[in-house]
């Protein structure tokens, strides 16, 4: 009888895939505390774990932050809220992207608090809730982001329309989002704060005692006037500075969260003048030692990193040469004669004295750290390090 593949695999478990991600939950919790220290205890920090925790794994991160005292969490979509609930995450969940097609029945069981910004759709959906539900909702105002939100003038009427839904809902908050908080010198942030404060003094709004939130990571770190009652840190929790490229994680006292490693699969020696890889985009200029490393754009190692990025081998930087393939990169290790097959290669994180941050990789790609972690491939196995792990 022929053996099935799974039988074969179970007989030779092996060490698992050479390419893996380690997410340091203790660092996430440290970064949360950095935020809390900046704001003081009177501002509640509700971590943002949308887009699967910026690509790093919403569930373990959500659990670690709830255990560390986070009063609630923010996600973008109702599907994300349902996934966290299904996995046992407790506490209220903010829906940053609002109702976004959610059915009233879906909302009722989840203990979610949507941001509302599109009056007609919101009123129609919320009218479908059972009386007495008391779903907490936050009204989103566009104070200058030019994106989601009601205009400030439309807010009083909308709040009164919400009142007419009776005890199905409770309008508990007024929220807005900052457009330029990551560049602290720009004047737009103060203007946005002023618009929200003016709205809060409006005679049809002031008596409501609404809870206010404007700040993302940059807002809560750099703009005390934007802190409100509660803030929504995202990127800083994941170990990158919201002020990149002006500043990096070190300046904010953050701890890096991601380590991405692989191992050398093959080493070859090539004479000078040897063209390498798809399209022959790199040709050796001297007799070269080349390492093949089993990671590629199929794992979220961006194809534009070819002939641009560096990795760490034996505590030293080494360039990625030629094109990035779906499953492989080639690294020039001519200057590292001690590196052999099976030795570790660090794509992100520390090796000895050297360190490659998410921010540095974002710089190679002319993008922001958010996109680097969001793009990390689901194919890469993840390990979560908790407080007690070494």
Residues in contact with ligand PLP by the rule CB under 6 A: 48, 50, 96, 177, 216-218, 232-235, 242
Phi, psi of 229 (to 5 degrees): -85, -30
Rounded-to-integer distance, Cα 201 and Cα 204, Å = 8
The residue sitting closest to ligand PLP, measured at its beta carbon, is 234
The single-letter DSSP state of residue 76 is S
Residue 158 vs 238, nearer CB to ligand PLP: 238
Query: What DSSP string runs through 317-365?
Result: EEEEES---SS-EEEE-TT-TT--TT-EEEEEEEETTEEE-HHHHHHHT
Minimum separation from the CB atom of position 247 to ligand PLP (A)? 14
The pairing of strands 211-213 and 316-321 is: unpaired
* Separation of alpha carbons 337 and 323, rounded Å: 23
Cβ burial 57-76 (10 Å sphere, 16+ → b, else e)? bbbbbbbbbbebebebbbbb
Of the two residues 75 and 333, which places its CB atom closer to ligand PLP in the complex? 75
Q: What span, in angstroms and rounded, lies between the C-alpha atoms of 261 and 230? A: 36
Q: Which is nearer to ligand PLP, 25 or 336 (CB)?
A: 25
Residue 50 or 323: the one with the smaller Cβ distance to ligand PLP is 50
For tokens 């994300």, what's the residue? Answer: 80
Cβ closest to ligand PLP, residue 75 vs residue 325: 75
* Closer by beta carbon to ligand PLP, 38 or else 311: 38
Smallest separation (angstroms) from ligand PLP to the CB of 166: 28
CB closer to ligand PLP, 178 vs 347: 178
How far CA 321 is from CA of 183, 285, 314, 331, in Å, comes to 35, 12, 18, 6
Distance between CA 42 and CA 305 in Å, rounded? Answer: 43
Residue 84: closest CA among 49, 111, 59, 67: 59
Q: Output the smallest distance, CB 12 to ligand PLP, in A.
A: 42
- For residue 291, the surrounding DSSP H or E stretch is strand 288-293
Question: Which position among 50, 54, 301, 384 bears the catalytic label?
Answer: 50
Q: How far is the CB of 52 from ligand PLP (least distance, A)?
A: 13
The tokens of 338 are what?
């001690």
Contact 361, 320 (CB under 8 A): no
Catalytic residue (choose from 3, 117, 270, 278):
278
Query: Can you tell me the distance from the alpha carbon of 233 to that of 215, in angstroms, rounded to the nearest whole number?
Result: 7
Distance in Å, CB of 176 to ligand PLP, minimum? 9
278 in catalytic set: yes
**Least distance in Å: CB of 234 to ligand PLP?**
2
Q: Tell me if residue 50 is catalytic.
A: yes
CB–CB of 46/232 below 8 Å?
yes
As measured in angstroms, the least distance from the Cβ of 83 to ligand PLP is: 17
Q: How far is the CB of 98 from ligand PLP (least distance, A)?
A: 10
Instruction: Indicate the residue among 96 and 139 with the shorter CB distance to ligand PLP.
Output: 96
Coil, helix or strand at residue 296: coil
Copy the structure tokens of residue 75.
């996600």
**Start-to-end CA span in the chain (Å):** 46
Q: Which residues are catalytic?
A: 50, 278
């Amino acid at each position: 009888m022929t053996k099935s593949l799974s039988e074969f695999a179970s007989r030779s478990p092996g060490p698992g895939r050479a390419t893996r991600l380690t997410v340091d939950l203790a660092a996430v919790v440290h970064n949360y505390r950095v935020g809390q220290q900046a704001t003081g205890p009177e501002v509640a920090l509700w971590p943002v774990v949308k887009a699967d925790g910026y690509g790093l794994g919403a569930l373990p991160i959500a659990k670690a932050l709830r255990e560390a005292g986070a009063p609630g969490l923010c996600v973008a979509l109702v599907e994300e809220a349902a996934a966290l609930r299904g996995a046992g995450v407790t506490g209220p969940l903010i829906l940053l992207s609002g109702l976004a097609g959610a059915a009233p029945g879906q909302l009722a069981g989840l203990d979610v608090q949507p941001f509302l910004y599109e009056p007609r759709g919101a009123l129609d959906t919320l009218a479908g809730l059972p009386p007495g539900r008391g779903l907490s909702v936050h009204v989103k105002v566009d104070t200058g982001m030019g994106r989601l939100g009601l205009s400030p003038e439309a807010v009083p009427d909308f709040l009164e329309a919400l009142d007419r839904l009776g005890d199905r809902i409770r309008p508990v908050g007024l929220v807005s989002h900052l457009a330029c908080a990551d560049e602290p010198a720009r004047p737009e942030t103060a203007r946005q704060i002023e618009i929200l404060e003016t709205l809060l003094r409006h005679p049809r709004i002031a008596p409501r005692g609404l809870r206010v939130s404007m700040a993302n990571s940059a807002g809560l770190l750099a703009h005390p006037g934007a802190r409100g009652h509660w803030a929504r840190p995202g990127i800083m929790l994941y170990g990158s500075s919201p002020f990149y490229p002006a500043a990096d994680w070190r300046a904010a006292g953050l701890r890096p969260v991601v380590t991405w490693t692989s191992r050398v699969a093959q080493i070859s020696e090539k004479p000078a003048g040897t063209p390498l890889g798809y399209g022959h985009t790199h040709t050796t200029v001297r007799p070269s030692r080349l390492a093949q490393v089993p990671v590629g754009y199929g794992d979220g190692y961006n194809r534009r990193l070819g002939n641009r990025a560096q990795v760490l081998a034996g505590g030293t930087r080494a360039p990625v040469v030629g094109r990035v393939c779906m499953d492989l990169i080639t690294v020039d290790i001519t200057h590292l004669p001690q590196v052999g097959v099976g030795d570790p290669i660090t794509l992100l994180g520390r090796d000895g004295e050297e360190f490659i941050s998410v921010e540095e990789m974002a710089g190679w790609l002319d993008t922001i750290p958010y996109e680097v972690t969001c793009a990390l491939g689901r194919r890469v196995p993840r390990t979560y390090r908790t407080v007690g792990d070494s």
